[in-house]
Chains A and B, each alone.
Chain A
Amino acid sequence: MADHMIVSTRKGLFDVHREGGGWTVGEGSFLGDNVTLALHDPRDGADYAALNHGHFGVKLHRRDRGGTWQEIATPAYPPKPEGLDDRDGWNRPVKWTTQLIWSLESGGADEPGTIWAGTMPGGLFRSRDRGDTWEMIRPLWDMPQRNLWTGGGADIPGIHSICVDPRASQTVRIAISCGGVWVTHDGGATWRQSAHGMCFDDGPPGFAENPETQDPHMMVQCPAAPHRFWVQHHCGIWRSEDDAQTWQRVHARPSSFGFGVVVHPNDPDTAWFVPGIKDEKRYPVDGRLVVTRTRDGGQSFDVLANGLPQAHAYDIVFRHALAGDDTGERLAFGSTTGNLWVSEDQGDTWETVSTSLPPVHAVRFTS
């Protein structure tokens, strides 16, 4: 069970620890700087932090277990070919430069040192040396379908979810806002669209069901049942039982809109979400912050509110800001309002860790 977490915020990264039965915000790193995402690699204990300095661009740092932060290489786009008219799905020119590291994941247990990074405007990168050097996965970037991708809430498309298959490390699935779900079985050499069954609620004929432009907000894979997936999509919740080949929609109350999803590591039927009023509003229904949990694969949902504010709560929980630990017992989430909560009983009750953090981008439990 995890007693530590790393919390990425608009004004720094915070180490949060369990002490004496409660959780305490400990030392901060990069104070004042925008830490957009962090990764804890359980294989060697290293932490990675992605920063977005705005003026000075995106940077990546690594902290070995017990060590201090060191800047490492940032995934960088190759030179854009002279004269190439490269446009996204909204017909806007694509800028070939890393504008956000939107996903960071460890490679498989059999490939120590391998790290994956998904970025805006849609490039996928792999490092085989713990982030000292990066290679762009060109076959994905060079697909003509990439020019159909669009921004979701952001102006430009990006890869926010990377699932390395525990059965075969060369099988990797990624989810893109807005570009559907893509799978490779050969370590990135070839890719196939895999968002069939997802749909938008509105749009012209041929648009709503087109997998190429779907907007999954977050995708997770159950480690113990790796053929089972969950997606929190822009228009609701989808699940797959067939290696993400087809997707089925389920419905939650009070809302199926949200960003993050966590699946229980040992039970593919159990998953958690933080709902909000759908897209044009984006705040908790009736100002009551709740977590929804299904234990039966989405047939029904528990509404969990014990310990969460039930009046005038306008917290939004971004896709990487809802986290579970490696046992499925502990959960945590941070919000745009700078609140941080933790549960030690699968969401039945919640403890407030802080109400005064900067806006929270991401939460990860660490070993």
Chain B
Amino acid sequence: MARVHFTANLRRHVDCASMEADGGTVREVLGHVFAVQDRLGSYVLDDQGALRKHMTILVDGRRIDDVERLSDAVSPASEIWVMQALSGG
């Protein structure tokens, strides 16, 4: 199972510890995560299920390409990081 990590900034709003989840794509893995923690989904994805504008996801250190459908492939050993850009005042 892939392992999904969340940043401290996100954990300030939603209790989301790192967790393991099945799936062949980023969307499938996150779907399993959000099934456990349903409030988390709206913090990461917009109303259409696309990655929010100032969020990014790294799979094994590489930024995903498909921010709309989250179709990037994930292996059982993958490390997935859900991160936000650091900006603002």
Contact = CB atoms under 8 A, between A and B. Distances in A.
Given A71-B39, A74-B42, A55 B84 contact: yes
Contacts of A55: 9, 52, 54-55, 84-85
Contacts, number: 41
A56 B13 contact: yes
A56 B43 contact: yes
Nearest to B50: A97
Contacts of B52: 55-57
B84 to A, nearest CB: 4
B33 to A, nearest CB: 15
A216 to B, nearest CB: 26
B88 interface: yes
A277 interface: no
Interface in B36-89: 39, 42-44, 46-48, 50, 52, 54-55, 84-85, 88
B48 A53 contact: no
B47 A97 contact: yes
A57 B46 contact: yes
B10 interface: yes
A56 B47 contact: no
A79 interface: yes
A71 B43 CA distance: 12
Nearest to A33: B13
- Residue among A53, A74, A78 with max Cβ neighbours from chain B (10 Å): A53
Nearest to B85: A55
A79 B68 CA distance: 13
Contacts of B10: 56
A98 B55 contact: no
Nearest to B9: A55
A97 B13 contact: no
Contacts of A71: 39
B48 A57 contact: no
Contacts of A98: 47
8 contacts: A55-B54, A55-B84, A55-B85, A56-B44, A56-B84, A57-B52, A76-B47, A79-B48
Interface of A: 53-57, 59, 71, 74, 76-80, 95-98
